[in-house]
Chains A and B, each alone.
Chain A
Amino acid sequence: MLKALAPFLTIIYIAITFLCGVFYLRDFNKKLMILLCLVVLTFSNLFLLWGETSYGLFFDGISVIALLTLFWVLGYKEAFKILGVIEISYLVLLILGKTVFAHTPEGIVLLVIAFFLKLAVFPLFLWLPIVVKIIDAITAGFLICIFEIVDFVLLWRTVEKASWFPQFFENLREVSLYIGFLTLLLGAVLALCEKNLKKLLAYATIDDTGYLLIGLSLFSPVSLYGTIILWINHLIAKLGLFFIAYRIEKNTSVISLGKVKGLAKDYPGLAFSFLVFALTLIGIPILPGFWGKLFLYQEVFKISKGLFGLMILGGCLTLVYFIRAYHSLFLGEKGPETVKTPLPKLDLILVMLLSFTIVLGCLIIAF
């Protein structure tokens, strides 16, 4: 299943890099250096996506260096430090898992922890909202999306490898399932209380990662189909939401809910895009996120009604925080002078991402 997905994921990866790259080249200095970092990062990550070879570790290292360099070049020194700690820990775990403990359950555990760290899974999630808060929204979206693509593929492969040890595999699945639930609920709870839009989206990412982890832990055909739909849906919608956050941040200088309001009057396109992306992430019919969640609900329901209830609880919290954010930012009476300079009209990128979400929904239903 993963091999069949590789070309599709490659296209998505390249598209995300291209879309974010356009913004970097437009809005930042040191364009050549940024371009170089992006090319190296893309090359190394695509290599990792396409399959596992003995050079995997080398490309992992290159990818880490390219990403850290990018942060340095963009001038995010604090984020560079935090990400540096994360990336170095990740590399250490990876090296141990692939060399000293290679082909053993212990090695697999180390690798899983490494990927959990990058995917910001409970209890290793704290770094993500901190980093996202101090960098711009485009970089945050880019960082989250590339981590979600590459590291989730690597995690999937590792889980597949764990099936060589049946008893261990069952235990791993069970532990991952509970961690998935904790991640989902904690992400949703934190997002619910968060007022900073970028941090809210970071917590929402943690919430979504919980779903992916649950789907992967169940490891049944239906749950994996559901996971793939949620995964792709999450990448597109979350990137779209970060683009919108970037627009708001760039033009209003504030990104806190409650301080900017009534934006829909002047920017209906942004409001509509935000609503569609939010609805698909919530899992409202008939958007793709709903079908992905439905498949997961079905599988979770089969194993435990209690866990199904927790999943519904997570869904309700997701609904509340996204709808609250939407109403707070876009609806209601417009605040005085909330928008300093005109926001650009809904641009091609958002239209593309929106179209992709809708086409994805149609493809899922029609085939």
Chain B
Amino acid sequence: MFLGFSVGVLFLGALISGLCYRINSPKFHGSLAFLTSAVALYFLNLTFFEFLKTGEFGWHLPLFRWIRDFINLELIFKANGLNLFFALFGAYVSVGINLYAIKYMTHEKEGFGRFYAFIQLFIGSYLGLTLSENLFWSYVFFELTGLCSYQLIAFWYQSDLSSFSAKKAFLMTHIAGYGFLLGALVFNFSPDPKAYQHLILAGVLVAVLAKSVQWPLYTWIPYAMNAPTPVSALLHAACLVKCGVYLLFKFYLLLGGFPEFWKNLLIYLGMFSSLMGVLFALKQADVKKLLAYHTVSQIGYMVSGIGLGTSLGLASSLFHTLNHAFFKGLLFLVAGILQQATHTRDLSLMGGIASKLPKTTVLYLIGAASISGIPGFNGFVSKWMFYQAAIEANHPLAAALGLFISTLTTLSFIKVLDTAFLGKIDEKNKQLSEKPFYLMVTGGIILAIPCVVFGLFPQIAITFLINPALSLLNLQGVNISFYQLPTVLIGALFILFLGLGLLIYFTWLKPKEIIKETEVFKGGEDETVFNPTADDFVADIENRLATFYKKADPDQYLLKICNFIEGLILKVYSSIKKLEQIWSKPC
């Protein structure tokens, strides 16, 4: 019953927000969304505890009784390891982001009812997708998430750019979504779905490529950044882009694994997307676009991990899915604070704001360290698992590529750190204060906590969230342990030494002024001369990789295909036009 409630409460919230659209209060709608997402998380937690006690169980709502002799369209939600894994992190992230959005949206003048109605509808649909057992309902929820994304990207509908971005995102994801419908139809109406597994997987893969922003169908996501930041964080970092990953797991379960060809395809498609994503991220000066390209890159690890097909490979994919939701959500929230504080998304126009926004800087550092795979943070664990799984599965190239991409990721976030947070503060940012952003920072803290906790104690996530999912997929549970040491001990040692360091600093070094604050020293250069902006980095990278960037953008090729089709259609149209003229002349 709680399964149904967890989705129902969000749909109810969406309905209330939609019907009360005339109440133009960000606090009313924001609080409602926060409340409904918190209640949904609470119900899901209850479900999870029941699942741990009793094992799998389901809830069903008899719908479409009039046609049940011909097609089964009952709504069935199932609590199992895989479904609850995806649902739980989605619900958790949405609570943090909704809290953040309460403050963020006060900058807007109107459209709160519309915004929060679609936000709640989106979360409800995402939970519906992850919990649904009936593939047709999965498709319905899958498309509803896309519809909400479309409407939320078009939030500033009076801008041509937002309108274009929304249109592009919707067309690409919905058209590709028919692949999922094909997969669902073949699976349901073939006497032996295994015999048609190539057709099913081809259909599903097309849907996954567009929804989970993989090469070559990722090109809508940079445009989708022209939306309010909570949308970017919740939809285009945490949940929406995970729908495709969930589908891959779902069909892995339904088909009992993938054939060798598909496994190899997923491994190298994932890694290739990841490489493309990070290379495009490197040349971005717009902080949200940079994060968008990193989404492409990070999801590549997940897709590749599924392709490995081993327990550890799938575990790495699941763990990275979980981690990515937290660290990417967090980084987007930080980007939103930066944007509201400095009124720009351009990194070159920021600089030195670490001194003005220290808590935000700490949040950024946690997010950046996690995504870069720095030991002690969650991204390190899942990436490490991926490298190990790739080597064990005899795909060392994938492991090497993963490591290389991770290095480029670190480079990209050093660029952000150097240009936005460190260096000389801009004159117009000197009056900045973090106080107005405390609620937004709190939302960020909710997402930062798991980045650290799962980095230090990964066994919590592995035991309670990942191993149940693996067991459902008929795979052996994994046990991660670095350097043969129990992870709990590593975590305890980390906290002990960190605490010790802080204690020494505050009780001895600082009071006695043993450590003195000095100007930033950069290789002997005068600071005014050596104060690079994001544009400097970008120009340097663009110069070195000019040919690559010119040829590698898939949009140009997609556009050529579209133009070709348009040409054919126009030929038909002009012929019919001539016929029409002949027809209408005698009259």
Contact = CB atoms under 8 A, between A and B. Distances in A.
Interface of A: 78, 81-82, 85, 126-127, 129-130, 186, 189-190, 192-194, 221-222, 225, 262, 264-265, 279, 284-286, 290, 294-295, 297-298, 301-302, 305, 308, 312, 315-316, 319-320, 323-324, 327, 330-334, 364-367
Contacts of A323: 167, 170-171
Contacts, number: 108
A189 B569 contact: yes
Interface residues of B, number: 45
Could you tell me the dominant secondary structure of chain B's interface residues? helix
25 contacts: A126-B583, A127-B583, A186-B572, A189-B569, A193-B570, A221-B70, A222-B70, A264-B158, A265-B158, A285-B140, A285-B143, A285-B147, A298-B185, A301-B185, A302-B189, A308-B182, A316-B175, A323-B170, A327-B163, A331-B162, A332-B163, A333-B160, A334-B158, A366-B63, A367-B64
Contacts of B576: 126, 186, 190
Given A126-B580, A127-B583, 15 more contacts: A129-B580, A130-B584, A192-B569, A221-B70, A285-B143, A285-B147, A301-B185, A302-B189, A316-B175, A323-B167, A323-B170, A330-B157, A331-B157, A332-B163, A333-B160
B529 interface: no
What 3 A-B pairs have minimum CB-CB distances, sorted nearest first?
A331-B163, A193-B573, A285-B140
B500 interface: no
B252 interface: no
Given A284-B174, A333-B160, A365 B64 contact: yes
B492 interface: no
Contacts of B136: 294
Interface string B571-585: 011001001100110
Nearest to A226: B67
Contact of B171 (A192, A193, A320, A366): A320
Q: Which residue, of B181, B570, B583, B587, has the highest number of chain A Cβ atoms within 10 A?
A: B587
Interface in B129-143: 136, 139-141, 143
Contacts of A186: 572, 576
Nearest to B181: A297
B335 interface: no
B154 A331 contact: yes
B405 to A, nearest CB: 33
Contacts of B185: 297-298, 301, 308
B158 A333 contact: yes
A157 B418 CA distance: 75
A78 B587 contact: yes
Could you tell me the dominant secondary structure of chain A's interface residues? helix
Interface of B: 63-67, 70-71, 136, 139-141, 143-144, 147, 154, 157-160, 162-164, 166-167, 170-171, 174-175, 178, 181-182, 185-186, 189, 199, 569-570, 572-573, 576, 579-580, 583-584, 587
Nearest to B147: A284
Contact of B573 (A189, A319, A364): A189
B384 to A, nearest CB: 40
B254 to A, nearest CB: 18
A262 B160 CA distance: 9
A295 B73 CA distance: 11
Contacts of A364: 64
Given A190-B572, A331-B154, A332-B158, A298 B178 contact: no
B587 A82 contact: yes
Contacts of A129: 580
Contacts of A324: 167
Nearest to A129: B580
Contacts of A284: 143, 147, 174
A298 B66 contact: no
Contacts of A285: 139-141, 143-144, 147
Given A221-B70, A302-B189, A312-B182, A262 B569 contact: no
Nearest to B570: A193
B354 to A, nearest CB: 37
